[in-house]
Amino acid sequence: MILGRVIGEVWATKKNPRIEGRKALLVAVLAQNEEKRTPTGEVVVAFDNIGARIGNTVTVTWGSGARAVFAAPDNRWVLADAAVARIVDAVSVEKDGREVEERED
């Protein structure tokens, strides 16, 4: 699972019927540096069914975990390698030996 920021959407007029109606997002992978989270330069495409928007910080899960975020029993046939699992409200990190909560906008 990775922490990332939604930076865009992917649009396609023709797609496999198994992904019809599913929104695909571009998510920039974030790394925790000393003072803040910054993009690594890596971008992934992840399906979303919880309503994430551009600018949201999200967690993305992979493989069978990605399919698990979609409702059973149809999730077995979802064509997805990555999916948004959470829209993040806050992240707690340790700074100078103490825990600090960072709120997301």
pLDDT at 105 over 70: no
Helices (H), the chain: 63-68
Rounded Cα–Cα distance for residues 88 and 79 (Å): 24
Number of domain units in the chain: 1
**CATH number of the domain that 36 lies in?**
2.40.50.220
Q: What are the tens digits of pLDDT across the range 20-37?
A: 777 899 999 998 776 678
pLDDT at 73 over 70: no
How much is the pLDDT for 75?
62
Domain that holds residue 41: 2-103
pLDDT at 93 over 70: yes
How far out from the chain centre does Cα 12 lie? 19
How much is the pLDDT for 96?
74
